[in-house]
């Protein structure tokens, strides 16, 4: 299986405060990887480094064999902007707060990025319609984000990301801003994507969900990977800290 | 002097008032955006220079600025001032002044757009200029409309400051007539014109605001 994402020895500090210390991870085609851990453990920063919303201090970032950043003498050196723009097409990101464009209708939120990527209006609209239908949002195409519930907004933002046909989809705590009922409707969508073998990296607090869905789980704390493995391995670990953390969430 | 002739003369001044008003808006609204961008520029030198400019424009009287712009060519460069420069001087001074105010309004608007909008645009493949023009500016425009309305209302009244260099707009004319006929009525009539002008301005601005109420930020 192809390696889609590889991060080697990532380091990142904010004002001398080390948030990521030597993190490495590999994600293969079709894999679902969950990143769990307490708040402030660095998992969101890791995701932001992977999606190039933060620049790493040190380490390699490699998408499908292409270096977005290469470690040279302990410092990350990024590829030229044009190449980064190409590499960005490999992944999509779903935000905790959706970040839909409020002045655009649902349809335009999904079509405009496609058209900027070079698709015709007809192609873009057909794609938007198809995705909205799949996500049960066909009747919302002409509405504005402010008219939708949080769960619907998050599904639109998933559709917006999928419309660009990314190879990897990142989720940054996709249900943290939602109540349990709306959480369920978003998780259903992610579960459906997993069935279709979408490669996904999910930062989440939903332990049961991570266990059920993931091929691999990473437990982070204090900027380090404290434990990692298949759900079966991780949920049966004798690492007391991991047991405590998982146990608290399951209770 | 009959009431009709007074009103007739005031109306001719109203034309000049409107010209100052619309030309100032036409140039200062876009220029304000440029100034706001320079103010937020990464380059410290550019940012500081812009900040000094804004500070001077906001910290000194507009009337003084009008006079300085009008007389500077003569006092500084010993260039003979032509008659036609009077109007240009008014417009230059007003545009420079109002662009500074609009810049500060735009800046606060730009800074109030959540960081997540930039991040979403970046991840979705928008370039910097596409992000700014398609995602940020429309939202900024909606956010700043109430503050811009305030400035526009002030501008209607500020046009009267061009009497300082005797530009023949409505207030200058009202003052002349008033002293000629020794009556307060021309001034009150001028006041009424400004008031009605501003009622219209507020009406138009609230229409525009309503137009953008189809979405919430």
DSSP string, A118-179: T--HHHHHHHHHHHHHHTT-GGGTTS-GGGS-HHHHHHHHHHHHHHT--SEEEEESTTTTS-
Q: How far is CA B31 from CA B34, B92, B94, B98, B100, in A?
A: 5, 12, 12, 9, 9
Cα torsion angle, B98, B101, B105, B110, sign: positive
The total of other beta-carbon atoms located within 10 Å of residue B90's CB is: 25
In a domain, B190, yes or no: yes
Q: Tell me which residue range forms the domain holding B72.
A: 3-110+148-212
Q: How much of chain B is helix, strand and coil, in % rounded to 5? A: 85, 0, 15
Report residue A55's pLDDT band, with 50, 70 and 90 as the boundaries.
very high
Please give the torsion angle defined by the CA atoms of residues B5, B8, B10 and B12, in that order, rounded to the nearest 10 degrees.
-140
Strands A32-36 and A216-221, how do they pair? parallel
Task: Please give the pLDDT value at position B8.
Answer: 86
Q: What percent of chain B has pLDDT over 70?
A: 100
Q: Is the pLDDT confidence value at B166 over 90?
A: no
In a domain, B193, yes or no: yes
In a domain, B118, yes or no: no
Q: How much of chain A is helix, strand and coil, in % rounded to 5? A: 40, 30, 30
Q: What percent of chain A has pLDDT over 90?
A: 82
Strands A58-63 and A3-14, how do they pair? antiparallel
Place of tokens 């956010």: B143
In a domain, B178, yes or no: yes
Q: Is the pLDDT confidence value at B191 over 90?
A: yes
Report residue B1's pLDDT band, with 50, 70 and 90 as the boundaries.
low
Q: Is the pLDDT confidence value at B130 over 60?
A: yes
The total of other beta-carbon atoms located within 10 Å of residue A180's CB is: 7
Across the range B167-182, mean pLDDT stands at 88
Across the interface, whether the CB atoms of A99 and B217 are under 8 A apart is answered no
Task: Please give the pLDDT value at position A236.
Answer: 85
DSSP structural state of residue B82: P
> Three-state DSSP class for B11?
helix
Model confidence pLDDT, tens digit, residues B44-99: 999 999 999 999 999 999 999 999 999 998 988 888 888 889 999 999 999 999 99
Task: Please give the pLDDT value at position A250.
Answer: 61
Task: Please give the pLDDT value at position A208.
Answer: 87
In a domain, B88, yes or no: yes
In a domain, B181, yes or no: yes
Interface of B with A in 111-170 (CB under 8 A): 114, 116-117, 119-126, 130, 134-135, 138-139, 142
Strands A76-78 and A66-71, how do they pair? antiparallel
Task: Please give the pLDDT value at position B36.
Answer: 96
Nearest-Cα distance to chain A for B41, in Å, is 20
In a domain, B115, yes or no: no
Across the interface, whether the CB atoms of B216 and A146 are under 8 A apart is answered yes
Across the range A134-140, mean pLDDT stands at 93
Question: Chain A residues with CB inside 8 Å of B117's CB?
Answer: 99, 101
Across the range A110-133, mean pLDDT stands at 96
Model confidence pLDDT, tens digit, residues B133-151: 999 999 999 999 999 999 9
- Report the run of H or E that residue B129 belongs to, with start and end: helix B128-130
Task: Please give the pLDDT value at position A40.
Answer: 87
Substitution target in A51, A101, A169 with the highest count of B β-carbons within 10 Å is A101
Who among B125, B139, B142 is closest to A88 (CB)? B125
Query: Closest chain B residue to A164 measured between Cα atoms?
Result: B124
The total of other beta-carbon atoms located within 10 Å of residue A90's CB is: 17
pTM above 0.90, yes or no: no
Across the range A78-92, mean pLDDT stands at 95
Mean pLDDT score of chain A, rounded to an integer?
93
Across the interface, whether the CB atoms of B119 and A92 are under 8 A apart is answered no
In a domain, B124, yes or no: no
Report residue B21's pLDDT band, with 50, 70 and 90 as the boundaries.
very high
Across the interface, whether the CB atoms of B125 and A85 are under 8 A apart is answered yes
- Report the run of H or E that residue A229 belongs to, with start and end: strand A224-229
CATH of the domain at B105: 1.10.3720.10
Q: Give CA–CA dist B3/A21, Å, rounded.
A: 84
> Three-state DSSP class for A26?
strand
3-state SS, A62-109, equals: EECCEEEEEECCCCEEECCHHHHHHHHCCEEEECCCCCCCCCCCHHHH
> Three-state DSSP class for B60?
coil
Q: In the structure, how many helices (H) and strands (E) does chain A have?
A: 9, 11
Q: Give CA–CA dist B21/B156, Å, rounded.
A: 6
- The total of structural domains in chain B comes to 1
Nearest-Cα distance to chain A for B58, in Å, is 32
Who among B120, B125, B215 is closest to A99 (CB)? B120
Q: Is the model more confident about A55 or about A181?
A: A55
């Amino acid at each position: 299986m192809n390696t889609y994402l590889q991060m080697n020895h990532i380091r990142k500090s904010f004002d001398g405060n080390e948030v990521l210390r030597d993190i490495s991870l590999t994600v293969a085609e079709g894999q679902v990887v969950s990143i769990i851990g307490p708040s402030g453990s660095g998992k969101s920063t890791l995701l932001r480094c992977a999606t190039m919303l933060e620049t790493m201090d040190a380490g390699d970032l490699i998408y499908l064999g292409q270096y977005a950043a290469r470690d040279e003498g302990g410092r990350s050196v990024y590829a030229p902007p044009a190449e980064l723009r190409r590499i960005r097409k490999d992944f999509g990101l779903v935000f905790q707060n959706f970040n839909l464009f409020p002045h655009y209708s649902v349809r335009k939120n999904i079509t405009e990025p496609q058209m900027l990527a070079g698709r015709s209006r007809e192609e873009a609209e057909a794609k938007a319609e198809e995705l909205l239908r799949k996500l049960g949002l066909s009747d919302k195409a002409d509405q504005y984000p402010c008219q939708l519930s949080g769960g619907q907004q998050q599904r639109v933002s998933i559709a917006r990301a999928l419309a660009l046909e990314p190879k990897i989809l990142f989720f940054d705590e996709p249900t943290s801003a939602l109540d349990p009922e709306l959480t369920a409707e978003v998780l259903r969508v992610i579960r459906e994507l997993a069935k279709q073998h979408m490669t996904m990296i999910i930062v989440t607090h939903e332990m049961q969900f991570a266990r059920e869905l993931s091929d691999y789980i990473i437990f982070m704390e204090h900027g380090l990977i404290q434990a990692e493995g298949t759900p079966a391995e991780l949920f049966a670990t004798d690492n007391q800290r991991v047991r405590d953390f998982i146990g608290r969430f399951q209770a | 002097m009959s009431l009709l002739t007074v009103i007739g003369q005031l109306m001719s001044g109203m034309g000049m008032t409107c010209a100052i008003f619309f030309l100032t808006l036409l140039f200062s609204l876009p220029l304000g955006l440029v100034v706001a961008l320079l103010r937020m520029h990464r380059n410290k030198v550019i940012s500081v220079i812009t900040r000094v400019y804004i500070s001077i424009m906001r910290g000194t009287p507009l009337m003084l600025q009008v006079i300085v712009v009008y007389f500077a060519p003569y006092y500084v460069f010993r260039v003979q001032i032509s008659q036609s420069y009077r109007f240009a001087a008014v417009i230059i001074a007003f545009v420079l002044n109002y662009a500074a105010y609009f810049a500060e309004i735009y800046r606060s608007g730009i800074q109030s757009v959540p960081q997540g909008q930039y991040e979403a645009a970046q991840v979705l493949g928008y370039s910097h200029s596409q992000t700014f023009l398609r995602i940020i500016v429309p939202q900024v425009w909606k956010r700043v409309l109430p503050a811009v309305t305030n400035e526009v209302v002030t501008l209607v009244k500020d046009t009267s400051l061009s009497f300082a260099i005797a530009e023949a707009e409505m207030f200058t004319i009202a003052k002349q007539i008033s002293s000629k006929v020794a009556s307060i009525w021309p001034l009150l009539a001028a006041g009424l014109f400004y008031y009605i002008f501003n009622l219209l301005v507020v009406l138009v601005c609230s229409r525009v605001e309503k137009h953008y109420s189809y979405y919430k930020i």
